Amino acid sequence: MNILDEEVFSVIMAIIVISSILSAGTIIREGFYRDSFSAIGLLNKDCLLGDYPDKALVNGTIELCIFIYNHEGKPILYKVLYKVGFNNTIPSNTTPSIEPIIREFYSILNHNSNTTFKVNIQVNPPRSIKDGETLALIFELWRLNPGNKQWEYTGRWVHLYIKAYKVPLE
């Protein structure tokens, strides 16, 4: 194959032009137009997916793990709010849960990094409940807006349904 042949050389040049434009575009896009998002995940006490507890004692403690990921293109200061609610008081992607805050966990992450930490939480229902009633353990992800120094709800949350009992089960 003679690469100085007009047709062969045109093909080689076309490949080089397309790949250089694509590479330059990717580099510029990564630097200036990042797809920014934050993520929160709920893991079991061994910090693994699945095998979550499905029942708990009222005012008892449960051990779980929280996973947070930052892909916002800059360092972000996060706050995870723990609340206990019911099926009708879980948050949406625009509004947080109306239930009172029980605990707060903080984390600060660089861009493209994540953290997983254990949490020991108490199952404190916001009102008196029936034995075996289903509760939602809610974890909301908030971030600090550096412009106005106010905490803002990211619209990300995780929740775990458990049945709460007043006396220990056999």
Partner 1 sequence: MNSTYTCIGLILLIIISTSYYTLAEDFVKRVEDAYIRALKLNEVGFDTSNIVSTLNSALTLYNQGDIVRASNTLTIAEQELSRLEASNPPLIREYHLRLSIALLLLFFPILAYFSIPLLYLELWFRLRRSWRIEYTR
Q: Considering the rule CB under 8 A, would residue 35 count as an interface residue with partner 1?
A: no
Decide: is 92 part of the binding site for partner 1 (CB under 8 A): no
Phi and psi, residue 166, nearest 5°: -85, -25
* Rounded CA separation 84/90 (Å): 9
Residue 129, interface with partner 1 (CB under 8 A)? no
Q: Which is nearer to partner 1, 106 or 161 (CB)?
A: 106
Candidate list 75, 87, 100, 132; residue touching partner 1; CB under 8 A: 75
Interface residue with partner 1 among 110, 131, 132, 161 (CB under 8 A) is: 110
Task: Tell me how many degrees the CA angle 32-34-35 measures, rounded to the nearest 5.
Answer: 155
| Among 11, 27, 49, 98, contact with partner 1 (rule: CB under 8 A) | 27
Kind and range of the H or E element at 98? none
Closest CA to 136 of 93, 170, 102: 102
Going across the sheet that includes 113-122, the strands are: 37-43, 61-71, 113-122
The residue ranges that bind partner 1 (CB under 8 A) are: 3-4, 9, 12-13, 16-17, 20-21, 23-25, 27-28, 30-32, 74-75, 77, 105-110, 115, 117, 119, 144, 146, 149
